[in-house]
Amino acid sequence: MIELAGRRLKLPVIQGGMGVGVSLSGLAGAVAACGGMGCISAAHPGYREADFQRDPQSANLRALKREIARAKEISHGMGMVAVNLMVAMRQYASLAKAAVEAGADAIISGAGLPLELPALTAGAKIALAPIVSSGRAARLILKTWDKKYGMTPDFVVIEGSGAGGHLGFKEEDLQSGTVQPLEKILPQVLEELKPYGKKYGRAIPVFVAGGGLRGADLVRFRAMGAAGVQIATRLIATLECDASQAFKDVILKAKGEDVRIIHSPVGMPGRAVETPLIRRLEAGEKIPHQWCAGCIKTCDPATTPYCITQALIHAVEGDVENGLFFCGAGVDQVTELTSVAQALEEYRLPEENAG
Ligand SMILES: Cc1cc2nc3c(=O)[nH]c(=O)nc-3n(C[C@H](O)[C@H](O)[C@H](O)COP(=O)(O)O)c2cc1C
């Protein structure tokens, strides 16, 4: 049991947000129902709405609110329901406000530094957490939130280099294996948090993520001062995950040698399973886009070799030929389709089993 922003998490596990459409209410609600924190991805939650291509902004706001309400229903008041917001998205501010209006318990924000997030949720009862990949990024966010808004994060997620999706590390460092491991980053972030915990009179729980962390890793990182773990890839291979069966099969079949580091139009490297789309991009092909949602701040539709939104929508819908299938470095450990409750069993702390 851990205390977090006035709530209690029976299970010290956050389900990492997965866009597009991989973590919606089905997965997030199931994780919360088990006593953990489920997380809805705010990257185009409205991709299945009839008006998505005509008016993606409205479709996304409507769908995000509906998914939060559904996840809360599924959770039966257990755990917490969070929203994952990528700083790189143009619709960031209105999605943050929609998360507040729909009563999400937390916003977890990465893919950039969420320096302005507190301004968007001022006065609202919602926990805020940045995702960082270094002590330096944590320092910058902590300093800015303290100075500008007189506040500090409710919790922090550290995403290590083994995570799936976009990665907060330099591509050359990822390729050469010279990135710092989570075991090195965690003490740095804990050190940065110390003065703010003191100033604001409360603990700031830290969750570590990346590389398919297991129950034994949870015990190990808790001994080092973390409160819990954030996991994602493993939860794709569950009955409740919102992705298509074809997406789940790509994850179940992937071996270590199938994992690739790719360039994303977001301007960050990403980790994904090698599928036909990646082979075409590696061969220098430019894949024309049919339409543009204008979603990513850093994406120039005139020059981007592919549209990441379309590629991720193809993936969640199960188009193996054209989809981009993000995965964590531990994808080869995922070999069985289970329920969320089965997948989460190993993360129960001994005191929970006893109780
Ligand atoms: C399919 C997929 C999509 C993801 N999408 C996002 C995203 O939209 N935003 C984000 O902050 N992280 C995203 N991530 C990262 C996860 O939330 C998580 O932190 C990380 O993958 C944890 O490592 P693990 O998958 O090895 O357990 C994604 C990961 C995967 C596998």
State the 10-residue block means of pLDDT for the chain, 355 residues long.
86 98 98 98 97 96 98 97 96 97 98 96 96 97 98 98 94 91 98 98 97 97 98 98 98 97 90 97 91 89 93 98 98 98 94 51
Q: How far is the CA of 199 from the centre of ligand 1 (A)?
A: 32
- 242 ligand 1 Cβ < 6 A: no
Q: How far is the CA of 355 from the centre of ligand 1 (A)?
A: 32
- 328 ligand 1 Cβ < 6 A: yes
Residue closest by Cα to atom 1 of ligand 1: 326
Q: Which tokens belong to 32? A: 């919360």
**Cα R_g (the chain), whole angstroms:** 19
For residues 329 and 162, the answer to whether their CB atoms sit within 8 Å is yes
CA 291/CA 305 separation, integer angstroms: 14
For residues 271 and 329, the answer to whether their CB atoms sit within 8 Å is yes
Q: Where are the beta strands (DSSP E) in the chain?
A: 2-4, 7-9, 13-15, 37-41, 80-86, 106-110, 127-132, 156-159, 165-166, 206-209, 228-231, 259-263, 269-273
CA 105/CA 93 separation, integer angstroms: 17
Structure confidence at residue 352 (pLDDT)? 52
- 112 ligand 1 Cβ < 6 A: no
Structure confidence at residue 107 (pLDDT)? 98
Judge residue 100's burial from the number of C-beta atoms within 10 Å of its C-beta, 0-12 exposed, 13-18 middle, 19 or more buried: middle
CA 200/CA 126 separation, integer angstroms: 17
- 231 ligand 1 Cβ < 6 A: yes
Q: How far is the CA of 198 from the centre of ligand 1 (A)?
A: 31
- 11 ligand 1 Cβ < 6 A: no
Amino acid at 250: V
Q: What are phi and psi of 3, to 5 degrees?
A: -90, 135
- 330 ligand 1 Cβ < 6 A: yes
pTM of the model: 0.97
For residues 243 and 26, the answer to whether their CB atoms sit within 8 Å is no
Q: Is the peptide bond before 316 cis (omega within 30 degrees of 0)?
A: no
Structure confidence at residue 3 (pLDDT)? 84
Task: Say which DSSP state 105 is in.
Answer: S
Structure confidence at residue 354 (pLDDT)? 43
